[in-house]
Chain A
Amino acid sequence: MTQTANRRAPELSILGMGFAHPVGEITNEFLEKLEVGTTAEWITEKIGIRTRKTSLPIEYISKTRNQRPHDAISVATDTSMTLGLRAAEMALERAGIKAGEVGLLLVNACTPCATSPTESHRLAEALGIEAPAHDLFTACPVFALHIDYLANFESEALPDYVLCISTATLTQHVNYNDRSDGAIWGDGAGAWVISPRKPGKLKVLDSTYHSDPSRSQAVVVDTWGHFKQDGRAVRDFSVRQTVRLVKRMEEEFKLDWSRDIFIGHQANLTMLQQITGNREIPESNHWYNVAEVGNQAGAGAPIVLAQRWHEIKPDQRIAIAVVGAGLSWGSVLLQAN
């Protein structure tokens, strides 16, 4: 049986990116006052995070420690959907298109309010998108998954504009009696508009996505409960895998860290600094935001890029390596036009 080979691959470009955060903020000093065995100094030293964005009122966290995630949604200032909506609107505006022009919506939601309708269906309805919409989900490395997934398609099969959104309200699933989990997570959403044929600010040069599901239970968000992870195992995996991803891009594309930019999975800063130290990436060419916003799972890396959208220089290459739940990992190499 033969199939027609060499169908045209899509030449993907990112036309616009957006982000959104809730208004609340959890500082290291606040976490110290919870008296769960941590200090502001320890958190800063160990994971490099100073503040993290949250959709939960601080008084609520202080009083309840979020022991029942079930109750969090009723007091939250944002849901994963409201964050996703705002991020999408920014991305669409920057791309210079209207929601009605979107031909496909892909959504990754780690903490959806409902599983049916899916977050993609609800966001499509809220945005006024009448095109196909579905969840495409892998948690943290979603920026790589969405782009690599689209790269699988025959170019003609893709619409002019694809909107991708990654959104998470992980602080609503954190047990704030746990000294480590409370220090890690933040809430946020990132969005990006991709086209297989319209020119955009960033051209996709390369993408990869892989997973090792045999370790899928290392990072878990229970539907009714709290986030859990095997911290040490995940950290070691994250550093090793990110270094491998970066090395491959360096070798294959001859990256120049005096000019090109690195964005890693926004899990914690000390881990990222281990990676940049290993690859000799100068601080000036390492873009990150985890110190101020916390780990926002799949939204982390795209939010960094969205926040720096106007700083991107022509011909600059941006290497993104993301790892996380699944366990899964992936990379995207972009070049600015």
Chain B
Amino acid sequence: MTLVLNILGIGTAFGQTALEKSDFERLGIPNCSLAVGSIRRSALHRDYLFLTKNADIDGVIQGTNQSPTDICLAAAKIAIAQAGISADQLGLVIGDCSTPWQTTPSEGQRVADRLGLKVPSYDIGGGGLVPQHLASLSRWRIDRTPEYILLVSGSTPTSRINFEKGGDERWHFCDAAAACVVSSKHRGKLTVLDAESAFHGKAEGSFVVDQFLPLIAKLDNFPQQLELLTADMCAKAVFKHKLHGAHVVLACGEASSGMAARVAQGQSISRFGSSFDDNGHMISAGCFFAYERIAHTLKVGDRVILVQALPGFVSGYALCEVN
């Protein structure tokens, strides 16, 4: 990696409807393992969910007025505001969405449209901000890199779930988006020291968002695969950069607190954050939610390992230094 990127602003946003354990029980999911106080956010209206259980996922647009782009836009606006810039200073928008309402144009173009931009925009899809976006950008030449770039990844997996007939995936997933503004020219809250991604080449059907059929998540092995990939990426970062000591912090996207604790313990990391327990699996936005949970503990000089994995396909990490 040669291009030093700075993360100037981070934004996160959720689906509009908050579902608690009692809501899932009302939906006919009595054995939901949702902890007390945990919620799952959905873009779907509560009334629509209870009435239809999203049994006909083809008609899901009737049940919501919040598209994945709406959630991506909300996250993007927060990131832009935190970066202290205006949207028209962005020179490039890169998006990602696993549950788009339109397969054309790209999510990046839809978000850029809503921001009123006329800049190059496209999608780098299949893993989200950390494994795909940051890992790619960190290998660009500075003369080809715009001053400010918006990266955004968001999905609405609950829109692809049949709440009448499905299994545990009905309470497992969360509609959410994360965004960040990066710059190769200006210093920000985090400096990206390194970013890597790996493709695993064996989907095994454990997680599928089909164009027309309900979402498939084989939850009997999905968490185990996620833990293996997360641990592997964390170990990679630690070994490559000889990380040790109390200043190393881990933010595990999509991991439960138990999973994050095991991964952190495996690398003697004492501070860690995760996103799953409170909010559920967000497909590819989780590591920034995990980061936000531990952001208040960070000190200048801390090294934060952001890890994101999508079982069967891709995993990655970004190693950042706190400024």
Contact = CB atoms under 8 A, between A and B. Distances in A.
Interface string B55-77: 00010010000000000000000
Interface in A286-328: 297, 325-326, 328
Contacts of A112: 103, 211
B285 interface: no
Contact of A154 (B111, B126, B127, B141): B141
Given A3-B142, A224-B212, A216 B122 contact: no
Contacts of B86: none
Given A3-B4, A154-B141, A213-B109, A121 B123 contact: no
A118 B58 CA distance: 20
B27 interface: no
B199 A137 contact: no
Contacts of A5: 142-143
Interface string B251-270: 00000000000000000000
B109 A124 contact: no
B112 A213 contact: yes
A328 B199 contact: no
Interface string A110-141: 11111111101110110001111111111100
B142 A138 contact: no
A85 to B, nearest CB: 15
Given A3-B142, A220-B102, A157 B283 contact: no
Range of interface residues on B (Cβ < 8 Å): 35 or more
Range of interface residues on A (Cβ < 8 Å): 35 or more
Interface in B1-25: 1-4
A258 interface: no
B126 A116 contact: yes
A106 B312 CA distance: 18
Contact of A133 (B93, B116, B186, B199): B199
Given A1-B185, A138-B106, A73 B98 contact: no
A251 interface: no
A116 B209 contact: yes
Given A3-B4, A124-B201, A116 B139 contact: no
A219 interface: yes
Contacts of B185: 1, 3
A224 B104 CA distance: 12
A77 to B, nearest CB: 17
Contact of B104 (A116, A214, A220): A220
A217 interface: yes
B303 interface: no
A151 interface: yes
A216 B113 contact: yes
A7 B102 contact: no
A196 to B, nearest CB: 12
Nearest to B215: A116
A148 to B, nearest CB: 9
Given A213-B109, A221-B103, A326-B105, A116 B283 contact: yes
Contact of B313 (A117, A131, A211): A117
A70 B101 contact: no
A4 interface: yes
Contact of B141 (A7, A73, A121): A7
A9 interface: yes
B126 A125 contact: no
Given A152-B144, A219-B104, A73 B209 contact: no
A121 B314 contact: yes
Given A115-B98, A216-B112, A223-B103, A121 B313 contact: yes
Contact of B203 (A3, A7, A117, A210): A117
Interface string A198-233: 000000000001111111110111111000000000
A118 B131 CA distance: 14
Given A9-B141, A116-B209, A134 B118 contact: no
Given A7-B142, A110-B103, A116-B98, A211 B126 contact: no
Interface of B: 1-4, 58, 61, 93, 97-106, 108-113, 116-127, 132, 136, 139-145, 184-187, 197-199, 201-203, 207-212, 283, 310, 312-314
Give me the 10 closest cross-chain CB pairs, A-B, nearest first: A135-B125, A213-B112, A118-B126, A157-B139, A116-B209, A221-B104, A213-B113, A152-B144, A138-B122, A216-B113
Given A73-B212, A151-B144, A154-B139, 7 more contacts: A1-B186, A114-B208, A116-B207, A134-B314, A221-B103, A223-B100, A328-B121
Interface of A: 1, 3-7, 9, 70, 73, 109-118, 120-122, 124-125, 129-139, 145, 151-154, 157-158, 209-217, 219-224, 297, 325-326, 328
28 contacts: A1-B185, A7-B2, A110-B104, A111-B103, A115-B99, A115-B125, A115-B209, A116-B207, A117-B313, A118-B125, A125-B201, A132-B314, A134-B136, A136-B125, A137-B123, A137-B125, A153-B139, A154-B2, A154-B139, A158-B139, A212-B118, A213-B110, A217-B113, A219-B104, A223-B102, A224-B58, A328-B109, A328-B122
